Amino acid sequence: MARLLFTAREFGSLADPVNPAAIENLETLIGKPVQLMQQTHGNNLFEVKSFENIKQNTDSLITSNKDLALAVRVADCIPLLLYSASLIAAVHVGRRGLINEVAAKTVAKMRTLGAIEISGVAGPHICGDCYEVGDDMAEQIHKSHPTTGGKKGHLNLFAGLKDQIKEVNLENVNICTKENNQYFSYRNSAEPGRQVGVISL
């Protein structure tokens, strides 16, 4: 059974450059080494077999290793945590990640590694009413991802994600990072802080 959690502002930030004390606090909380990634808003994924400090140039980590945890860092993007009986994944899903289908690619990889029933949780992220991108960009993305539509000039990332990985039993914690000042939000104040979603087997 997977264990997962999402930190808030009170825990502290894990923005780059990562404070070693913050990592130590996180690992103490989890009780395992925590694998971080250098996220690039792409759709690269990596299967972690052993701890590698910070994995470069990837937005998705997958493992079956019960001796470590996976983490995704966010300020407004979706921290997506996926799990099956023997596999877990931490995925960074922003606007570009949605378009690049990083979550769908991760689910497909988990299937090839033996996952049958996959569930997931979308942690605190900016909601559809708050994620303003402008009319032109919104219209363009709505055409390719209709479920992201809603308020004019805005995107609903979670609705788009849910539609993209329909086969996953996906939950939403329903916390908007821009509306709730307990969480870091780049859109709210352009601050560099990052909270994390963490998952382990």
pLDDT of 121 strictly over 80 = yes
pLDDT of 102 strictly over 90 = yes
Helix (H, G, I), strand (E, B) or coil at 152: coil
Residues 5-63: tens digit of each pLDDT: 999 999 999 998 888 888 999 999 999 999 999 999 999 999 999 998 889 999 999 99
Helix (H, G, I), strand (E, B) or coil at 156: coil
Per the listing, tokens 């990072």 go with: 177
Per cent of the chain over pLDDT 70 is 100
What are the backbone dihedrals phi and psi of residue 192, each rounded to the nearest 5 degrees, phi first?
A: -85, -5
- Residue 72 tokens read as 């995704």
| Cβ neighbourhood burial of 101 (10 Å; 0-12, 13-18, 19+) | middle
**H runs (alpha helix) in 54-195:** 95-99, 102-112, 135-144, 157-164, 186-189
| pLDDT attached to residue 124 | 98
| pLDDT attached to residue 19 | 85
Please give the full DSSP string across 27-76, using - where no structure is assigned: HHHHTS-EEEE---SS--EEEESS--SEE-S-SEEEE--TT-EEEEEESS
Residues 144-200: tens digit of each pLDDT: 999 999 889 999 999 999 999 999 999 999 999 999 999 999 988 777 899 999 999
| pLDDT attached to residue 62 | 98
pLDDT of 66 strictly over 80 = yes
Sign of CA dihedral 89, 77, 44, 119: positive
* CA angle (78 as vertex; 41, 129 as ends), nearest 5: 110
pLDDT of 105 strictly over 80 = yes
Asked if 142 contacts 150 with a C-beta cutoff of 8 angstroms, the reply is no
Residue type, 66: K
Write down the domain spans for the chain.
3-125+164-200
| pLDDT attached to residue 20 | 87
3-125+164-200: CATH topology is: CNF1/YfiH-like putative cysteine hydrolases (3.60.140)
| pLDDT attached to residue 192 | 82
| pLDDT attached to residue 9 | 93
Q: What is the pTM of this model?
A: 0.96
